[in-house]
Amino acid sequence: MGQETTKKIRLMTRTDIPAVMELDKEAFPIQWPLAAWEEELTKHGDSYLCLEVDNVLAGYAGFWWVLDEVQVTRVAIGKAFRGQGLGAFLMEGAKEQAQKLGSHFMTLEVRESNTGARKLYEKLGFKSLGIRPHYYENKENAVMMEWQFK
Ligand SMILES: CC(C)(COP(=O)(O)OP(=O)(O)OC[C@H]1O[C@@H](n2cnc3c(N)ncnc32)[C@H](O)[C@@H]1OP(=O)(O)O)[C@@H](O)C(=O)NCCC(=O)NCCS
């Protein structure tokens, strides 16, 4: 019999930054430098969640809390961990936390070409609000999406 996998969502701390930066290389064309991560965790220390699988960093998600809105800044799952429902698990955990903190809706922008992420968000109940033309540095459009708490 195989051993049970342990999944845990917890707040990101500064000691996670090196592992997060490694994971980012697999996830995004442009990485945030160390100073940006340090500043982000100083200013928005309660806004980044790490997902650990058997005590190994498998992914993370970032949020800005703006009044009753939660803006998703970044979501990433390490390559070796993708396709196992972990992105959905992490986002569901984030939605639960946002709801507990009194948020009413969650918003995000995603690259138009990022069909995997768009499918993930649609599966989680996000609705497309429209396009932000040339939103990204390479002029790619962003799709704006929103999920409303009932
Ligand atoms: C997008 C990302 C977070 C998905 O994480 P994941 O753990 O692989 O996603 P899950 O296994 O939880 O998938 C849940 C659902 O999302 C959809 N999905 C996720 N990845 C997909 C892909 N590559 N192609 C199509 N659908 C996909 C599917 O509907 C899936 O449900 P199903 O497996 O029942 O079909 C991950 O691919 C990633 O980190 N990508 C790079 C960074 C990124 O693009 N971040 C999002 C923009 S900020």
The pLDDT of residue 75: 96
Substitution candidate for ligand 1 out of 52, 82, 92 with most atoms within 8 A of CB: 82
Active site residues: 109, 121
DSSP-assigned beta bridge partners for residue 99:
none
Contact 120, 91 (CB under 8 A): yes
Where in the chain are the domains? Answer: 7-148
pLDDT tens digits for range 96-149: 888 888 899 999 999 999 999 999 999 999 999 999 999 999 999 999 999 998
Q: Please provide the CATH number assigned to the domain covering 7-148.
A: 3.40.630.30
Q: What percent of the chain has pLDDT over 70?
A: 99
Go through 39-56 and write b for each residue having 16 or more CB atoms within 10 A of its CB, e for each that does not: ebbeeeeebbbbbbbeee
Residue nearest to atom 4 of ligand 1 (CA): 87
Residue nearest to atom 43 of ligand 1 (CA): 76
The pLDDT of residue 32: 94
The pLDDT of residue 1: 58
Per-residue confidence band for 46, with pLDDT thresholds at 50, 70 and 90: confident
CA neighbours closer than 13 Å in the CB half-sphere of residue 3 = 5
This prediction's pTM: 0.95
Mean of per-residue pLDDT scores for the chain: 94
Q: Is pLDDT of 18 > 80?
A: yes
Q: Distance between CA 24 and CA 139 in Å, rounded?
A: 21
